[in-house]
Amino acid sequence: MARQAYRSLYGDLTKLKDTSLLNLTGTGDDPELFELLLDISAWVDRYTDRHFYPRVQILEFDGSGTPTILVPDLIAVTTVKQDEGNAGTFEVTWAATDYRLNPYNSEATEHWGEPYTRLEVRKGGPRTDFALGESNFEIAGRWGYREFKEDSGSNIADAGGINATDTTVGVTLGTDFAIGHTILIESEQMLVTNIAANILTVRRALNGTTGATHADTTDVFILRWPSPIERATLINAARLWTRAPDFEPFYVDQDIDTDVRELLSSYRRLTV
């Protein structure tokens, strides 16, 4: 089975195969386990109505006609542009001093942080509101619940570095990583799909980031998720696997396991 790798996984194969969960050895089941983690990670997003990995994206919004505009989970803004002529050109770029992100002190790049959920016009500035209109604002940024990166302890260890399309990355120590990790090198995210000694096989330009060249000795970081999200993903994946020894087809209980529901409950965004 080929490994899909279109987004981040909220768990890794080392933890899933640990004695506390599946107690598996060897690599024979790795492709199926990888796909299962991918599917459960996507299910977590649907269940909570949010995603926990940082995604680089440009989104459009209707102007509210008030000093506030509500947005999905937001980590950081790159640009805010306004379409003043209703031509879809977004010809006016707001200065960073024209607005602020709220709630204050969200600290969306710290392990305790939470996302921003709205933009507000700064008082006393040149702007008074987000002009009423349909799809007349464009916000480029990093979207998601949180972006907390942890230094892996390893650097790139490829003579000459890597180019924008290489699918393998040599690192100082391969045991600093696990299959399923999302790594961050400068501003590019990559998904680790295989490890052989100190060589990582990766899916480049993950989650809307851009493939780029990276020099030898550049730091390699690992993106970390809220621990209840990771734990719920691993538990659900382990239980699905043990209910289905042959993997395909598998049958599951109709309801969600209680402990998984409890782990995810405080992260679930309920819409009215």
> Is the pLDDT assigned to residue 253 strictly greater than 60?
no
* Site of tokens 């990166």: 149
Structural domain for 62, as ranges:
55-143
Query: Distance between CA 83 and CA 178 in Å, rounded?
Result: 45
Res 249: pLDDT: 46
> Which pLDDT tens digit goes with each residue over 103-117?
999 999 999 999 999
Higher pLDDT, 247 or 232: 232
85 in a structural domain = yes
Q: What is the mean pLDDT of residues 258-268?
A: 95
Per DSSP (E only), the strands in the chain are 55-63, 68-82, 92-93, 99-102, 116-121, 133-143, 148-155, 168-170, 182-185, 188-196, 199-203, 219-224
23 in a structural domain = no
Res 187: pLDDT: 98
186 in a structural domain = no
Q: Are 16 and 22 in contact (CB under 8 A)?
A: yes
192 in a structural domain = no
180 in a structural domain = no
> Is the pLDDT assigned to residue 57 strictly greater than 90?
yes
Res 113: pLDDT: 96
Torsion of CA 246, 247, 249, 250, to 10 degrees: 110
The band of 4, judged by pLDDT with boundaries at 50, 70 and 90, is confident
Res 205: pLDDT: 98
Mean residue pLDDT of the chain comes to 94
4 in a structural domain = no
Higher pLDDT, 59 or 247: 59
Res 250: pLDDT: 45
> Which pLDDT tens digit goes with each residue over 174-231?
999 999 999 999 999 999 999 999 999 999 999 999 999 999 999 999 999 999 999 9
60 in a structural domain = yes
pTM for the model: 0.93
Q: Are 140 and 82 in contact (CB under 8 A)?
A: no
Contacts of 236 (CB under 8 A, 6+ apart): 40, 43, 44, 256, 257, 260
Q: Are strands 168-170 and 99-102 parallel, antiparallel or unpaired?
A: unpaired
Helix orientation angle between 258-265 and 227-243, rounded to the nearest 10 degrees = 160
Q: How many domains does the chain have?
A: 1
Helices marked H in the chain — which ranges? Answer: 13-16, 30-48, 227-243, 258-265
> Which pLDDT tens digit goes with each residue over 76-130?
999 999 999 888 899 999 999 999 999 999 999 999 999 999 999 999 999 999 9
3 in a structural domain = no
Res 272: pLDDT: 41
Instruction: Give percent above pLDDT 90 in the chain.
Output: 89
Query: Distance between CA 117 and CA 130 in Å, rounded?
Result: 15
For 266, the token pair is 């405080």
